[in-house]
Amino acid sequence: MAASLLQVDRLTVRFGSSTVVNDVSFSIAAGEKFALVGESGSGKSITALSVLRLVDAATTTGAIRFEGEDLVVKTDRQMQALRGSRIGMIFQEPMTALNPLFKIGNQIAEVLTLHDGLSKPAARARAIELLARTGIPEPDKRVDVYPHQLSGGQRQRAMIAMALACKPRLLICDEPTTALDVTVQAQILALLDELQSEMGMALLFITHDLNLVRRFTHRVGVMERGKLVEIGETAAVFGAPQHAYTRQLLASRPERVVQAVPADAPVLVQGDAVGVSFAFSQGWFGKRQFQAVKSATLQLRRGETLGIVGESGSGKTTLGMALLALQELSSGSVTLSGERIDNADRKHLRAMRKRMQVVFQDPFASLSPRMTIGQIVGEGLALHRADLNKAARDQLVLDMLDEVGLSDRHGVAGVLQRYPHEFSGGQRQRIAIARAVVLRPEVLVLDEPTSALDVSVQQQVLRLLADLQKRYGMSYVFISHDLAVVRAMSHRVMVMKNGDVVEAGESEALFAAPQQAYTRELLAAAHLG
Amino acid sequence: MSAVLDTPRADAPAVAASKPASPNQRAWARFKRNRLGYVSLWLFGVLLLLCTAAELVSNDRPLATRINGQWYFPILSNPSEKALGGDFATGTDWKDPLITDLLAKPGNLAFFPLNPHSADSLDYFDKSLPPATPSGRNFLGTDSKARDLLARLIYGFRVSVWFALALTVVGTAIGVAAGALMGYFGGKVDLLLQRAIEIWGALPELYLLIIFASIFEPSLLLLLILLSLFGWIGLSDYVRAEFLRNRGLEYVKAARALGLSNGQIIWRHVLPNSLTPVITFLPFRMGTAILALTALDFLGLGVPASVPSLGELLKLGKENLDAWWIIVSTFLLLTATMLLLTFIGDALRDAFDTRKS
C-alpha cells in the first residue's frame, strides 16, 4: 500500500441531508486495474467524480491523496490543471461527452495545447497519432470529422484518445462500454488493456458489469447504497464473496428458467418472409429505402419463448413490432392462430390486440406519467372486457398487481391511486408487465424487458416472467441484446444482423455449437462461448 | 474491510403511505412555493372578480335605498323620479339635488357602490369643467367627455380581460387541435397542414382588420373572430412538437398495443402529456390579447365607441396631455396587469419545468 497512486480515505459525500457516499476508503497502486461495482444509486460514480472534484453542490469530507499530494486542499485552478493531464476520464455516452459542434481533432488538440503547451500543428499531428493508436481507421481523415459522423465504438475510441492525450497516470472509466454493442465492447476493452500495459497507467473502472470486472481487473470494490461493503483481489471476491450483498450480486446472473413445451403445442404465430422497410427522403424528390428486416420466417408455438438477439440496428425490435402489427410490413405475412393480422382491418385488429401484448425496455417511458396505476393497468380491461363492471375490473387489476408483487402484502399501499413516478425502475417494469398480462394475452412480445434494470432486479423480473408464462401458458417473443438473458429465457433463439436472420435454432444447441461465424463472435464477446 | 452488514436490498422499497399526488398537484405545489407568482395570481383573481362585478363596484345608482319607508333596488330597476316624488317619468338621476335632499331626510337611506359613477353616466350637477382633476367627487377625475375615469377604467378592464380570456380559450383550442392533428398523424397530414398554415399565416392580419372594420359594424364578436383566425398559429407549432415527441414514446406504443383507437390515445395519453407549453403560455397569451385589443382601440379599429375600453382611454389621454390623470392611471393599470400576468407565467413555467424537481 506504500506506493499507492490514489488513496481515498473515509470519503463522505452529502447532497443536502442525504448521504450519497458514506465513509469510503480504498487505494489504487500505480499500473493497477481497479473496479468499483454496484447497482444504480450505489454511489460509485459520485465517488469517482469526487476524486476529480466534479460534483457540484455537495459537501465532501475525507482525504484524497494522488501521487502523495493532498487533493482536498488544492485550489480549483490546481484541480483544473490536474484534470485531463494527470488524471483522465472517459464517460459512458461518448455522443454526449464529445462536443457535437467541434471536430474530433480539434477537441483532442485542445487538451494538448492547454496542458502540454503544444503548438497547433504539433497538437494536430499528435492528435492523428493518438487516433491511430486507438485504432481509428484513416486517422488523418477522421481528425477532421464531427462526432456524429463516427460510429459509437469510434466515438468511444476518440474519447479514449482524448483522455490519453497527456499520458495520464490514472484513467477513470465511468461505464465505458455500457452504451456499446457486445462485439464493440470487447474491442474497446482489449484496447484499454493494451494501452494500460503500454503506458503503465492505473485504471479505475466504474461499472455494473460483473463479467467485465471478473475478466479485466486486478482488484474490486463492491458498493451498496453509498457504502463500500467489500474490497479485495478480484479472484478472491468472486471466488469467495464475504458480504451478503456481494453474494446476492454474483448470484443474480441469469439462470435458466425454461419450462419444456409439449411437442404437440399448436403454432400460434407464424411469420412468413417478413420484411419491413423504411423510406427516407433524399434530396427534393428522391426516396431511399432502408430494409430494416429483410426476410424473416419464424414460428412460435403455444407456451414457447422465442429469443431474438442481435446488436443495435439488427432489426430485432422492428421485427417484434411487425409481429404485433404495430409496424407495417413491406413484404411477407404474419398470422395469429392462422388469421392474417398484418393486413387485418383496423377494427378487427383492435379487437385482436387483446390476444397479443408488449412490454418495452424503458420503464420510465412506457407508463404515462399523468395516469394512476389503476388507470394504466385497467385501461385495456375497460376496452376489451366491457362485460365487466368497474368494481370487477378493479378487482382483476388488483389481483394482477398482487401477482407481479405490488400490493399491500408487498408493502405497497393503495397502489391503484398512485402515479408512476412513485415507483422504482423494477416496480415500473412490473406495472408494465401487469398492464400486458391482465388481458391474458396469448402472445407477449418482450422488447429488452430487463436491459434498463439492475442485475438483482433483472433476475427477479425474469423469474416473474417465467412464473407468469407457466401459469397462463403464454408464448413469449423475447428480444434482447443480452445473450445471457436470452439463454436463460428462451426455448429457441434467432440471431439477427443488419436485418438478416443469421442463425436460428434450439437455444441450448445454438449456444453450445453456434454454426455461423457471427454467432460465435457474439458469444465470445459476451464470454458465453 | 468493515463488515457492516446490511440486509440485501429488495427490488420493492416500500412506497411511503402518504396520499399520492398527481403530476398536476405537484406542479401546483411548486407554483404555490413561488411567492411572487402565487400572490400575483391572487391579485389578478381579485381584479377579475371586481371588474366582473363592475355594476356592484361602480354605478351611478344605489345598490339599495329606502325612501319614505319603502325599499327600492335601483341597481336592478331604476324607479322613475315621479315615483319618488319628483316631476319626470324618466329614471331617477341620483345626483339630482332634489334626490340628494330627499335622501338626506331622516329615515331615508341609500347604499351607493364604492364608486358612485357608471362608465357612461354623466354628472350634470358637477360644476367643474371636463376633464376634471381627481377629487372627492371623481376619485381619478373625469375624461374629456365628463365621464368618471375610475368607472371607465373598471368597465374597460372588464371588457379587455374577458375579451382576452375568450380569445385565449378559442385560440388555444384551435391551436391545440391543429397541433395535435399535425403532430400525432405526421406524414402527409402534417405536410399539408403545415403548408396551409404557412399560407394562412402570410395573410396580412392588420389590413384584414382594417378592411373588415370598414365593411362591418365593428363589434367585440367580429374582433374575436378575426383575431382568433390568426392567434392560434404560434401555439400549434409548440403542440405539434410535443405530440411528435410524445407519440414516439413507449407508453403510446403500449396504448396502441392495447387496441385503443387514435382518438382515445390522443385524448387520454398524448394530450395530457403535451399540455405543458399550452399552460405555461396561457398568461402570456392573455397579456398579448389584452394589448392587442388596446392597440386596436387606440387606433380606432377596435370596439365601437359606446364600449368602454382601455385603448380608447389611452387615445383620450394622448389627446388631452394636460389632463395627466387620464394617461397616467390607464398606463398604470395596463402595466400592473401585464406585470401580474408575467409573474404568473414565470411561476407556471418554473412549476411545469420537469428539469426542476
* ipTM given for this complex: 0.75
- The position carrying cell 393599470 is B333
- Predicted confidence at residue B6, as pLDDT, reads 37
In whole angstroms, give the CA distance from residue B23 to residue A419: 8
The per-residue pLDDT for A378 is: 93
Would you say B144 and B324 are in contact if contact means Cβ atoms under 8 Å apart?
no
Instruction: Read off the pLDDT of each residue in A144-156 and give the average, rounded to a whole number.
Output: 83
Give pLDDT tens digits for A18-29. 888 989 999 999
Instruction: Note the pTM of the prediction, 2 decimals.
Output: 0.78
Give the separation between CA A388 and CA A235, rounded to whole angstroms. 58
Confidence (pLDDT) at B3 = 37
Contact B23 A369 (CB under 8 A): yes
Name the pLDDT band for B356 (thresholds 50, 70, 90): low
Cα A443 → chain centroid: 25
Quick check: B184 pLDDT over 90?
yes
Question: Which run of H or E residues covers position A194?
Answer: helix A182-199
pLDDT value, residue B19:
63
Predicted confidence (pLDDT) at residue A216 exceeds the cutoff of 60: yes
Report how far residue A333's alpha carbon sits from residue A255's, in angstroms, rounded to the nearest whole number: 34
Query: Would you give the distance in Å from CA B324 to the centre of its chain?
Result: 27
Residue ranges of alpha helices (H) inside B53-113 are 54-57, 97-104
Confirm if A247 and A240 have CB atoms less than 8 A apart: no
**Alpha-carbon gap, residue A104 to A147, rounded angstroms:** 6
| pLDDT for position B335 | 95
The Cα–Cα gap between A370 and A421 comes to 9
DSSP state of B78: P
Beta-carbon separation of B257 and A356 below 8 A: yes
In tens, the pLDDT along A169-188 reads 999 998 888 777 888 888 88
| A427 touching chain B per CB within 8 A | yes
Q: What is the pLDDT of residue A438?
A: 94
A333 by DSSP, 3-state: which?
strand
Residue A392: pLDDT band (50, 70, 90) is very high
Residue whose C-alpha cell reads 439462470 in the numeric block: A255
- Among chain B residues, CA nearest to A428: B12
CA distances from B5 to A21, A224, A507 (A): 16, 10, 39
Q: Which residue has the higher pLDDT, A265 or A252?
A: A265
**Chain A residues close to B260, C-beta within 8 Å:** 350, 379, 383
For residue A528, name the pLDDT band (cuts at 50, 70, 90). Answer: low
Residue A208 near residue A249, CB atoms below 8 Å: no
B2-8, long-range: CB < 8 A, 24+ apart: B3/A242, B3/A243, B4/A227, B4/A229, B5/A243, B5/A244, B6/A224, B6/A225, B6/A227, B6/A229, B6/A244, B6/A245, B7/A244, B8/A244, B8/A245, B8/A248, B8/A456
The whole-angstrom separation of Cα B124 and Cα B92 is 13
- Residue-wise pLDDT for A269-296, tens only, equals 999 999 998 877 766 677 778 888 999 9
Whose CA is closest to B331, among B346, B349, B311?
B311
pLDDT given for residue A3 in this prediction: 66
Q: Is A236 helix (H, G, I), strand (E, B) or coil?
A: helix
Provide the β-strand partners of residue A493: A307, A505
Task: Tell me the average pLDDT across B30-59.
Answer: 92
CB distance A307 to A490 below 8 Å? yes
DSSP string, A311-380: -TTSSHHHHHHHHTTSS--SEEEEEETTEE-TT--HHHHHHHGGGEEEE-S-TTTSS-TTS-HHHHHHHH
Look at B14 and A411 and tell me if their CB atoms are within 8 Å: yes
> Which of B5, B245, B246, B250 to probe by mutation at the A interface, max A CB count within 10 Å?
B250
Whether B257 sits inside 8 A of A426 (CB atoms) is no
CB A349 within 8 A of CB A343: no
**Contact criterion met (CB below 8 Å) for B57 and B50:** yes
| Residues 200-229, chain A, touching B (beta carbon < 8 A) | 224-225, 227-229
State the average pLDDT for chain A.
87
* pLDDT for residue B168 is more than 80: yes
A366-370, B178-182, B353-357: least confidently modelled range: B353-357
Q: What's the angle, vertex CA A492, arms to CA A491 and CA A494, rounded to 5?
A: 150
- Find out whether A203 and A33 touch, Cβ atoms under 8 Å: yes
